[in-house]
Chains A and B, each alone.
Chain A
Amino acid sequence: MTEEFDPSEARRLWRRAAPRPQHGQAAIDPLDLAAWIDGRADAGLTARVERSLAADASLLETALAARAAAEAVEPAPDRLLVRARAMVAPAVATPRPAGFFARLGAQFDPWQRRLEWAAVGACFMIAASGGFFIGGGLGDNIAMADEPAEFALLGDDSTGLFGGGI
């Protein structure tokens, strides 16, 4: 027997029965939703996705929008394309050295940075030791420290310019 439904009754029945989103309901992964849209979901996934779609209006809208967008033929604005392409910079190409010696030098390229740091370190050492020896070295400083008389003359002169009666 075929029962007929008038549209208002049918709508009323659906309103009473419509499932609502349930808290804790497993979210649908975008890739699973895409598989369902493309007709590649297996029976289990199809049931899971369709249960969620029937209960979640925003998920259904997402699916319908994605399906329509995937077949869009209207070109995007050029400015969007320019902005998108600018997000990824081209890889910087290393220029190939010209000449025999340049190519030979390039063979030692991995060592170049280390050699540079070694040269900087050596220069620093030379400058530091040069300054040390010009200043008389450690021995002279110790010798000066062992001559208390001269320092005493300056430090303990009670009759000097700043001592005594002032």
Chain B
Amino acid sequence: MQQDAEIDLKALVGGDKRSWDAFCARYAPTIHAAVRRAFGTFRPTQDDLLDAGQEVFLKLCRDDYRLLREFDPAKAKLATWIGIIAYSTTVDWLRRRRPTSNIDDVPESALAVEPVEKESLTIPDGLLTERQALVLKMIYDRDMDVAEIAAVLRIEAQTVRSTHHKALTRLREHFRDSAGG
């Protein structure tokens, strides 16, 4: 993978055409991949993908490259940040394009609000650490396997397993105590 350093951001935001062209060539695959993923289960046409990708590039050069000016290379890689911008821009773009329907035409079942489990509101803060909650979410809400989670969190697979186990032990004790008391 090419390094971010190859793009002269200072020249780019100064209006240098060659830097912009190099930026486009370098990050078009990142933007395109993020756009495709944002479409998710929708079946986009090639034109949909192009329009959404174009929207991302437009956002990046809007207001005299305001977003790119705010980027700090000391904090993160440009490719990662571009991926976030591209994904969220496409989600917004899809939301705007979604056809609106008359509320009278929507079946009542579609308007139903998912009931909130009262039990979830009784969980005290700090019962799980942020990392434990995230590991459980990745396993049970997203069906990610241990190796994937380890890669995302940059930790050993064994650490993921032990974090998972400790978290479940805490939850079991908490619910056992609250049921008993």
Residue B104 lies at the interface, judged by CB distance under 8 Å to chain A: no
Return chain A residues, CB-CB under 8 Å to B33: 68-69, 72, 74
Residue of A nearest to B86 (CB): A69
Residue B80 lies at the interface, judged by CB distance under 8 Å to chain A: yes
Contact of A3 among B21, B82, B138, B172 (CB under 8 A): B172
Q: Is the CB of B75 within 8 A of A40?
A: yes
Contact of A51 among B82, B130, B175 (CB under 8 A): B130
Q: Is the CB of B116 within 8 A of A20?
A: yes
Residue A11 lies at the interface, judged by CB distance under 8 Å to chain B: yes
Return chain B residues, CB-CB under 8 Å to A32: 75
Q: How large is the interface on A (under 10, 10 to 19, 20 to 34, 35 or more residues)?
A: 35 or more
Q: How far is the CB of B8 from chain A (nearest CB, A)?
A: 14
Q: How far is the CA of A153 from the CA of B41 in the complex (A)?
A: 96
Give residues 7-66 of A contacting B (CB, 8 Å).
Answer: 9-11, 13-20, 30-35, 37-40, 46-48, 50-51, 53-55, 57-58, 60, 62-66
Residue B134 lies at the interface, judged by CB distance under 8 Å to chain A: yes
Q: How far is the CB of A31 from chain B (nearest CB, A)?
A: 5
Interface centre among A2, A14, A58 (most CB of B within 10 A): A14
Return chain A residues, CB-CB under 8 Å to B29: 72-76
Q: Is the CB of B57 within 8 A of A83?
A: yes
Q: How far is the CA of A58 from the CA of B81 in the complex (A)?
A: 16
Q: How far is the CA of A48 from the CA of B168 in the complex (A)?
A: 21
Residue A103 lies at the interface, judged by CB distance under 8 Å to chain B: no
Q: Is the CB of A89 within 8 A of B83?
A: no
Q: Is the CB of A53 within 8 A of B58?
A: no
Q: Is the CB of A34 within 8 A of B172?
A: no
Return chain A residues, CB-CB under 8 Å to B24: 81, 84-85
Return chain A residues, CB-CB under 8 Å to B32: 72, 74, 76-77, 80
Interface string of A78-92 (1 = CB under 8 A from B): 011101110111110
Residue of A nearest to B21 (CB): A85
Residue of B nearest to A48 (CB): B130
Q: Is the CB of B1 within 8 A of A53?
A: no
Q: Is the CB of A50 within 8 A of B28?
A: no
Q: How far is the CA of A30 from the CA of B46 in the complex (A)?
A: 27
Q: How far is the CA of A73 from the CA of B116 in the complex (A)?
A: 42
